[in-house]
Amino acid sequence: MSLFDQTITFLHTADLKRTAQFYEEILGLPLVRDQGVCRIYKTSTDGYLGFCTHLETPVSKGIILTLVTPSVDIWYETLLAKGVQIVTPPAHNPKYHIYHFFFKDPNGYALEIQHFDEPLA
């Protein structure tokens, strides 16, 4: 059996319009499917993120959406310029061998932009 072809993580949103504005205009993710009550965004070559209004109310505690890029500082400056509230500024975390920062989306989900000191693959 081979690995999966793609991954999609679906999360609940009570405000799809506000969520769409954030992910499309602030993060610049391409919308690949609009299903009315769900919108699916491309996050990487084979990774996708979907937001739906019909899912049960989320338990956002413990959920972190991590976007991996070598451009952590560029993303930090870009998000600051767009008025996104940053939870923690970029810093190196020696325990996990990463450089990262955190912010929140309009739904209250924690987002992390990070770079691994040593790539996963």
Going from the N-terminus, what domains does the chain have, and what CATH number goes with each? 1-56 (3.30.720.120), 59-121 (3.30.720.110)
Up-side HSE of residue 62: CA atoms within 13 Å toward CB? 2
pLDDT digits 0-9 by tens, 43-77? 999 899 999 998 776 566 778 899 999 999 999 99
Q: Is 48 helix (H, G, I), strand (E, B) or coil?
A: strand
Strand partners, 114: 68, 100
Residue 3: predicted pLDDT: 74
Q: Strand order in 38-42's β-sheet?
A: 7-12, 47-52, 38-42, 31-34
Residue 60: predicted pLDDT: 63
Enter the pTM of the model.
0.82
Decide if pLDDT at 87 tops 70: yes
Q: Which is higher by pLDDT, 40 or 63?
A: 40
